[in-house]
Chain A
């Protein structure tokens, strides 16, 4: 389920953020409890709790005392903003390195992108 190479709590947090970003989890949806999460993925509950704490800090989740954790109304926008900021550094720049190393014309890359993401005429 989780790879053994990076902190599990970070992997959990990323997974939940992915779910929010893709709309699997909507605003005010309840997420699984720490113990449910731990049981489901066979991990220490403290690890799951750490992921949730991080998501609360980042404004993705909020806590309702005695009830559980819920998705913040602005979570999706916030995650989208963060990911956009990181997109160029983390996705595009390594890709540019690869494009340069392989000698692919930039025009080909752009054409392919337009093909993959149709309807974006800007």
Chain B
């Protein structure tokens, strides 16, 4: 169980996380969503012990994370900017280093992942392309076999085929060695099916947490003549609306009960599903 209690992180006067309370049971894959600047990287860095909480606490199975080697060696955060070694280090050297530093590191698995991503072992970190560097981060992240493995936009610059390899390897390794995984991503459509739960962070606060599949059925798009639609949605949580001449489409949040659905049918209003990504955009303030 990963827990934060009244977690606050400030950069000078600016608060990146406001009093966050979170309990994440172990052994699941979580998706961490949020707009740019929502605090995702700050949260993950703090969970990984890269950063000390300004206030509040972060614990794993009850033990504080920061400066606790027993816990931090079981946590691996792969960031989009690498940070796994010096630019002049070869990939081979970095894997050797990871194997010494991380008790759970699986060198054989790392080797097979290097092959799957066709990564050059003798090349230095600096000489890699953006996508290769991301793929290498994923190799280290998966082969670390850390109880808490986090990928912060770690797929950046990877092509669709390599992202698929990543997702396949993640699911396969997760199936054989269940552990807690947190993926921070903007690729909601693509990675959404991997998540058991989604956490939406907005302006440093937890906006929503739900089973991904539940969330998928929470949004309803109501379409019809403007007046009828307005009457129909009054009292519901309206996330956004669009007009096209006399027709109006309103996105509401929350599943509709049978009575409402029957009402919609009798008013001849169309009820349509809302994709996860659209729902996310609406929930976090709409398209700017």
A and B, direct touch (CB closer than 8 Å)? yes
**Residues of A bordering B, CB below 8 Å:** 2, 4-10, 35, 38-39, 41-47, 50
The interface residues of chain A lying within 8 Å CB-to-CB of B196 are: 44, 46-47
Which B residue's beta carbon lies closest to that of A46?
B196
CB <8 Å contact, A6 and B217: yes
CB <8 Å contact, B212 and A42: no
Flag whether B216 is at the interface (Cβ < 8 A).
yes
The interface residues of chain B lying within 8 Å CB-to-CB of A41 are: 193
CB-contact partner of A44 in B29, B172, B214, B273, under 8 A: B29
Number of interface residues of B (CB under 8 A): 25
CB <8 Å contact, B171 and A45: yes
Flag whether B137 is at the interface (Cβ < 8 A).
no
How many Å lie between the Cα of A9 and that of B29 in the bound state? 16
How many Å lie between the Cα of A10 and that of B213 in the bound state? 9
Which B residue's beta carbon lies closest to that of A5?
B273
CB <8 Å contact, A42 and B168: yes
CB <8 Å contact, B29 and A7: no
Which B residue's beta carbon lies closest to that of A33?
B175
Interface residues of chain A: helix, strand, loop or mixed (majority): helix
Q: Which of A4, A35, A45, A47 has the most CB of B within 10 A?
A: A4
How many Å lie between the Cα of A24 and that of B175 in the bound state? 27
Q: Which stretch (B9-17, B127-135, B274-282) binds chain A?
A: B274-282
How many Å lie between the Cα of A44 and that of B191 in the bound state? 10
Q: If the complex has contacts A42-B168, A45-B174, are A5 and B275 also in contact, measured as CB distance less than 8 A? A: yes
Q: If the complex has contacts A8-B193, A8-B216, A47-B213, are A42 and B273 also in contact, measured as CB distance less than 8 A? A: no
CB <8 Å contact, B28 and A7: no
* Nearest 8 Cβ contacts at the A-B interface: A5-B273, A35-B175, A7-B213, A43-B193, A4-B275, A46-B196, A44-B196, A7-B216
CB <8 Å contact, A9 and B194: no
Q: If the complex has contacts A4-B275, A7-B217, A42-B194, are A47 and B168 also in contact, measured as CB distance less than 8 A? A: no
The interface residues of chain B lying within 8 Å CB-to-CB of A47 are: 193, 196, 212-213
Q: List 23 A-B contacts (CB under 8 A).
A: A4-B189, A4-B276, A4-B277, A5-B216, A5-B273, A5-B275, A6-B216, A6-B217, A6-B273, A7-B213, A7-B216, A8-B216, A35-B175, A39-B168, A41-B193, A42-B167, A42-B168, A42-B193, A42-B194, A44-B29, A44-B193, A45-B174, A46-B196
How many Å lie between the Cα of A46 and that of B193 in the bound state? 10
Q: If the complex has contacts A42-B167, A47-B212, A47-B213, are A4 and B192 also in contact, measured as CB distance less than 8 A? A: yes
The interface residues of chain A lying within 8 Å CB-to-CB of B28 are: 46
How many Å lie between the Cα of A43 and that of B192 in the bound state? 8
Flag whether B195 is at the interface (Cβ < 8 A).
yes
Which B residue's beta carbon lies closest to that of A36?
B175
